[in-house]
Every structure is written in C-alpha cells, then in structure tokens.
Amino acid sequence: MPDLQRALPSSPAALLGAARALQPRTVAFRRALHRQPELGLRLPHTRDLLIAELADLPLTLHRGRDLTSVVAVLDGARRGRTTLLRADMDALPVQEGAGVAFASEVPGRMHACGHDLHVAMLAGAARLLCERREEISGRVVLMFQPGEEGFHGARHMIDEGLLARHGPGGRPDAAFALHVSATMPTGELHLRPGPIMAAADVLRVTVTGRGGHASAPHHAVDPVPAAAAMVGALQTMITRKVDAHDPTVLTVSRITAGTTDNVIPETAELEGTLRTMAEPVRRAVCREIERVCTHTALAHDCTAQVAIEPGYPVTVNDPAATARLADTGRRLLGDTRVHTMPTPIMGAEDFAYVLQKVPGALAFLGACPPGTAPHEAAPNHSARVRFDESAMPAGVALYAALAMG
C-alpha cells in the first residue's frame, strides 16, 4: 500500500497536477463504469466496482440499506467543518450510438448523462484527499448516489440518515456537486447563486368519452379532439396566467389513443412535464392544469382525470457556497474559465433535496468533445453524446480543493 499519510503540498497547482497524474487511473475507472451501466436505485455492479476502487484507501465505507448507495468518510488530522461531495452513479435507458471504443455492453442502457465521469472524478478526489489527510481540518463525506434519473435517490439516502447528526458522516456544514455538460467548453465551470435548475413534475391526464364506430362519430363521444384541444389550451394558459419573468415550461410529450383506424376509442391519454423555478408558481400552475383539463373535457362532453406527480424541487445554490465554489474554480482553473450563468436551466436534479437541508452549490463542468463546437455537440441524454475525458482532472481537483478549502 502506498504511504497515504505523507503530507503533500495542496496548492491549486499541486492539486491540479496530482489530478492530471492520476488521469490514466481515472479514465480506466470511468470506462469500466461506462461499459456496464445500471439503472435506478439498485446498481450492484457499479457499487462493487466503486468499492474495489476505494479498497486501498483509509476510508470508512457505509452501504445503503434499501439502495446500493455508498457513503465514504475521511476524517482529517484536525477538527473542523464537515464537507459533503456528491457523485450520482446511475445510467439511462438509452441505446448507445456514440461510437466509442468503450461503449455500453448492456443493450438499451447508456451512461448518457456523464454520471460515470462523476463517480470516477469523486473517486479520484478521494485518493488525493487520503494522500493529504494530514492537511485536512474536519471531515469529508463522499456521497455516491444511485437513482438520480427520476428515482429520487438523494431523498432515499436522506431518509436513511445521510444528513442526520448521527448519520454516516454526521451533519454536513456544506455540500457540493459537479455535473459534466457536453455542450459547454471543456474545463469551464458554470454556476450561479440562487435557482440553477428547475423543479420537475409529471403530468398525466386521462380523457374519457364514449367509444363507437369511426364512421358515426355522432353516436359516440370522441376523446381525441378533447385531448388535442387540451394541448393548445395548456400552452395558452402558460402564456396568459404565468408572469413572463417566471421561467415555466409545460410540454405535452406523449398522446395515446385508440387501437385501429375505424374505432373511436373510449379514452385518450396525455403525458408531459412541468418545469418551474419558484414554488408559488409551481403550485399555481398545477391548479391551472387541473382546471384547464377538466373544463376542456367538459366542453367536449368528456371527463378528465388529472394526476400531477411531484418530481424534484428547484435546485437552489446557497450564495456563500456558490462564491466558495467559484473562488475555488478560479484558483484552480483561472479567472477566464469560471462563468456566472445569466439564467437557470430547465433541467432538474435531485441534489436539490440535499440543498434544501444543507447550504451548498452545484456547478456544471464543461466536457465538450474535441473538435466539436459546444452548440453543435450532442447534448446530455442523447444516444450520441460524448464527453471529453480531459475535463476530469479539473473535476478531481475541484472536489479535493473544496474539501480542503
């Protein structure tokens, strides 16, 4: 085992240099994860790969009870504050089409959002921190989380005691997460105080009429025109009922009705997503959705059953923590590579659950593939997305510096 207690300089340049020296190992680990993606809250192979990667480090490991989470704790040489660092681990149900040599070996699954990079970067940071334990004041809690892609994994970990005073690492004083983006220049850090990502809710509407023969619609009650009218009415509602200064997106992304050409169906179904940046707006729009769908259905002599499934809350960065993250980024990467985002993005992130309870911040780390302009790159969640692995040393060093700062 290497001498992990040896004190090493922890200047920004030294940390970044150490992260670059670690890059072959970081890349190899990332690619091993990429080849075997797993979905949801139970990622046994991913967890086992992670535990093997951390096995030679002086960390205290805690496994989740009902999900395959891993919490790794490192106590510094001196007392101080506790910093939590998060990496999500799950993949997406996407058939990979990126054409990389280390492509997914599991049909219909792909690390299309870069979570494999997140895990590899945080594991690399763990190694740097263990080598510098004598320089650390306080405790570092490494949160390796399954189920970010719609499964509320962070909330499940919190329910299992992650942030409790008597939890695996005690109650953190600050929490940070990085998320790679294929559409931002490699090695750039993008962040903002306050809301940075949206709340996301799922809309499901079942419109019920009365089925019949397609040649005699006057003897039936057709739910299809009612459903079509709802789509337009919902978009009109957003433009008429929501202040233009409150970012709000309502997308009906699926309409299903009928089984054949000559039958008017009994029902039509709509599904969509609602994205908002403020809780009062979120509540008001949900009320309006129910009102619009109910009355539009009645106008077509149909009924509507409206269900809105609460999703992730707004991701809100603490101003002081954001300033700390930005300052750390400038010291590591340079002033020109840290950017304040003018507006939030409408994607959602379940690190929001952590930030509801602990002051902290999430930032985006650019990983646009070489030779591609950011605006032309395949985005996160695309089957064709590719991430520039040369961004990973910046992520490794950022994580480590945040824990030591």
Which residues are tagged catalytic?
312, 389
pLDDT at 358 > cutoff 50: yes
Q: Which two tokens stand for residue 104?
A: 């997914």
Q: What are phi and psi of 352, to 5 degrees?
A: -55, -35
- What does the pLDDT look like over 362-381, one tens digit per residue? 999 999 999 999 999 999 99
pLDDT at 390 > cutoff 90: yes
pLDDT at 12 > cutoff 90: no
The CA-based angle 225-229-233, given to 5 degrees, is 170
The CA-to-CA distance between both ends of the chain, in Å, stands at: 27
Give residue for tokens 């940046």.
Answer: 277
**What's the mean pLDDT in 3-30?**
82
- What does the pLDDT look like over 22-32, one tens digit per residue? 999 999 999 99
Domains of the chain: residue spans and CATH: 12-196+314-404 (3.40.630.10), 199-309 (3.30.70.360)
- Which pLDDT value is given to residue 9? 52
Calculate the average pLDDT of the chain: 96
Residues at the annotated binding site? Answer: 113, 115, 149, 179, 381
The share of the chain scoring above pLDDT 70, in percent, equals 98
- Which pLDDT value is given to residue 5? 40
d(CA 396, CA 22): 9
Confidence band for 405, pLDDT divided at 50, 70 and 90? confident
Give residue for tokens 């990979």.
Answer: 96
E-strand spans in 151-287? 174-181, 189-191, 194-197, 199-208, 212-213, 248-257, 263-264, 267-276
**What's the mean pLDDT in 351-355?**
98
Indicate the Cα dihedral angle 213, 215, 218, 220, nearest 10°: 20
Which is nearest to 396 in space by CA: 132, 144, 120, 188? 120
- Is 369 in contact with 184 (CB distance < 8 Å)? no
- Which pLDDT value is given to residue 13? 87
pLDDT at 339 > cutoff 90: yes
- Which pLDDT value is given to residue 332? 96
Confidence band for 289, pLDDT divided at 50, 70 and 90? very high
- Which pLDDT value is given to residue 368? 98
The share of the chain scoring above pLDDT 90, in percent, equals 97
- Is 168 in contact with 77 (CB distance < 8 Å)? no
**What's the mean pLDDT in 32-46?**
98
pLDDT at 97 > cutoff 90: yes
pTM of the predicted structure, to 2 decimals: 0.92
- Which pLDDT value is given to residue 4? 42
- What's the number of CA atoms in the CB half-sphere (13 Å) around residue 302? 31
- Which pLDDT value is given to residue 10? 72
- Is 17 in contact with 36 (CB distance < 8 Å)? no
